[in-house]
Amino acid sequence: MNNSQNDSHIEALSSVTGIEIKIIKQLTFETQSEPKRLKREFVPTLLNREILEDFSYPTEKTVELPGLSFKLSSNEDGYEIIPKLRKEVEAKNYRIFLTSDIAEDIHEVVNLSILSSSDDFEPLVYFQTNGINYGITTQILIDELRNLDQHLELKILGVGNDWCEFEITKEPENWSSIVKKIFKLCPDIADRYNYLERDFQNILENTRKLYLWFD
């Protein structure tokens, strides 16, 4: 793609997503990757799995979102870029964060994505992030995260259909109380990885990252 074609491509993406051309070019430079429309896989979210037998729904479909994605070599690349650009993009009512998708050869592809959003939890709405196996809808999850946000001042780092990740930017007054709330919200932390509360507290204090997933 020559410079003229590349500029036209970026202008078209800016027009359809609302992301400023300057920001697109900046992310292209930082990631050394071409911008693509941000998409998510269509996943039916049902509280009662038996209902699946009564309804047909699209399979292998994607939904285009008002944002863009840029392929990365690793999560670590994204962790370096996000804090560097966060202040600038937030001032323009965008959020940048990691996403992932599966390539044709079944390996996971990591992306740095940007979305028109003035809120760190709004991307979860677009991705329909939930823990439906535990009765946790997207709205319940966001409500619980907003409660934690009062103590931790969370900044989004990544999002998908069944996972989300946030940077912890504030030291809570009572870590033990916070960890208990997180364990209640995301049972997989204890059930799957067998973390004790104290162990998980040490992880949060050392990494300053809160990662939730729901199998």
How far apart, in Å, are the Cα atoms of 75 and each of 16, 37, 110, 116, 118?
27, 19, 7, 21, 23
pLDDT tier, 46 (very low <50, low <70, confident <90, very high otherwise): low
- Asked if residue 110 and residue 136 are part of one domain, the reply reads no
- Asked if residue 86 and residue 182 are part of one domain, the reply reads no
pLDDT tier, 6 (very low <50, low <70, confident <90, very high otherwise): confident
pLDDT tier, 196 (very low <50, low <70, confident <90, very high otherwise): confident
Rounded to 5°, the CA angle 101-76-191 comes to 70
Can you say whether the dihedral through the CA atoms of 28, 32, 35, 40 is positive or negative? negative
pLDDT tier, 201 (very low <50, low <70, confident <90, very high otherwise): very high
pLDDT digits (tens, 9 = 90+) for 143-186: 999 999 999 999 999 999 999 999 999 999 999 999 999 999 99
What pLDDT does residue 109 have?
Answer: 86
Percent with pLDDT over 70 in the chain: 87
- 54 located within any domain: no
| Structural domain count, the chain | 2
- Asked if residue 142 and residue 91 are part of one domain, the reply reads no
- Asked if residue 153 and residue 76 are part of one domain, the reply reads no
Q: What are phi and psi of 159, to 5 degrees?
A: -155, 145
- Asked if residue 194 and residue 97 are part of one domain, the reply reads no
Rounded Cα distance, 140 and 36, in Å: 31
Averaged pLDDT, 186-203: 83
pLDDT tier, 45 (very low <50, low <70, confident <90, very high otherwise): low
What pLDDT does residue 11 have?
Answer: 95
- 25 located within any domain: yes
- 130 located within any domain: yes
* Alpha carbon 100 to its chain's center: 9
- Asked if residue 93 and residue 137 are part of one domain, the reply reads no
- 52 located within any domain: no
Rounded Cα distance, 177 and 189, in Å: 16
Task: Let me know: does 68 contact 36? Beta carbons within 8 Å.
Answer: yes
What pLDDT does residue 50 have?
Answer: 47
- 171 located within any domain: yes
Rounded Cα distance, 57 and 82, in Å: 36
- Asked if residue 112 and residue 17 are part of one domain, the reply reads yes
- Asked if residue 98 and residue 22 are part of one domain, the reply reads yes
Counting other chains too, the contacts that 78-85 makes at CB distance below 8 Å and 24 or more residues apart are 78/110, 78/112, 78/157, 78/158, 79/157, 81/27, 81/30, 81/31, 81/112, 82/112, 82/157, 83/167, 84/30, 85/26, 85/27, 85/30
